[in-house]
């Protein structure tokens, strides 16, 4: 038994709208984060992911897991971590139980920059969504993002 037929044109239009929304938000965030903190969106994303991981003082992840989480190749992740490490925002170390594994850890300076950049990111994201909401083809997607935000912040019973 087959499910309902999907109109390929509608699906393609939806994908194009989603891609457009992503690109607009990404560009707006990039400009805000670079201007205020000298961070790219990918660098900020790495700090977000690492700051949410805890094992002691800072957040840490294996390089492989970080690459998967920020949707970059291994080599691009290595370059990103190198840039952040050179700025004193991250450190790398060998996994104590598997000498082949390399982990990254947020430094105090990385945590402080992340805390400052979060406000910039949140403000820029809200600005980008408010602007996109004015576009009829993007409005439904913005509504989905806002519904996700509402669901995540709603009190749990």
Q: What is the pLDDT of residues 75-130, one digit of tens each?
A: 998 999 999 999 999 988 887 776 777 878 889 999 999 999 999 999 999 999 99
- In whole angstroms, give the CA distance from residue 84 to residue 102: 15
- In whole angstroms, give the CA distance from residue 54 to residue 49: 10
Task: Catalogue the E-assigned strands of the chain.
Answer: 60-62, 90-94, 102-106
Of residues 26 and 60, which shows the higher confidence score?
A: 26
Query: Between the CA of residue 34 and those of 16, 22, 76, 89, 111, what are the distances in Å?
Result: 26, 18, 19, 15, 17
- In whole angstroms, give the CA distance from residue 145 to residue 143: 5
Give pTM, 2 decimals. 0.83
Res 24 pLDDT > 70 = yes
Say whether 79 sits in a helix, a strand or coil: helix
Look at residue 54 in the predicted model and tell me its pLDDT: 56
Look at residue 16 in the predicted model and tell me its pLDDT: 93
Mean pLDDT on 124-152: 94
CA angle 136, 30, 42 (to 5 degrees): 110
- In whole angstroms, give the CA distance from residue 144 to residue 146: 5
What is the C-alpha radius of gyration for the chain, rounded to an integer number of angstroms?
Answer: 19
What residues have CB less than 8 Å from 137, skipping those under 6 apart? 13, 17, 20
Mean pLDDT on 4-29: 88
């Amino acid at each position: 038994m087959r499910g309902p037929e999907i109109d390929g044109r509608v699906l393609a239009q939806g994908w194009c709208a989603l891609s457009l929304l992503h690109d607009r938000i990404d560009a707006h965030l990039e400009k805000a984060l670079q201007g205020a903190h000298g961070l790219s969106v990918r660098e900020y994303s790495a700090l977000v992911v690492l700051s949410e991981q805890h094992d002691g003082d800072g957040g840490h992840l294996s390089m492989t897991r970080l690459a998967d989480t920020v949707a970059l190749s291994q080599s691009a992740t290595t370059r990103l971590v190198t840039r952040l490490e050179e700025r004193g925002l991250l450190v790398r170390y060998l996994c104590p139980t598997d000498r082949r594994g390399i982990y990254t850890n947020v430094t105090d300076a990385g945590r402080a920059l992340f805390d400052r950049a979060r406000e910039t990111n949140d403000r820029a994201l809200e600005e980008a969504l408010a602007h996109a909401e004015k576009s009829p083809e993007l409005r439904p997607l913005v509504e989905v993002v806002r519904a996700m935000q509402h669901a995540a912040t709603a009190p749990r019973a």
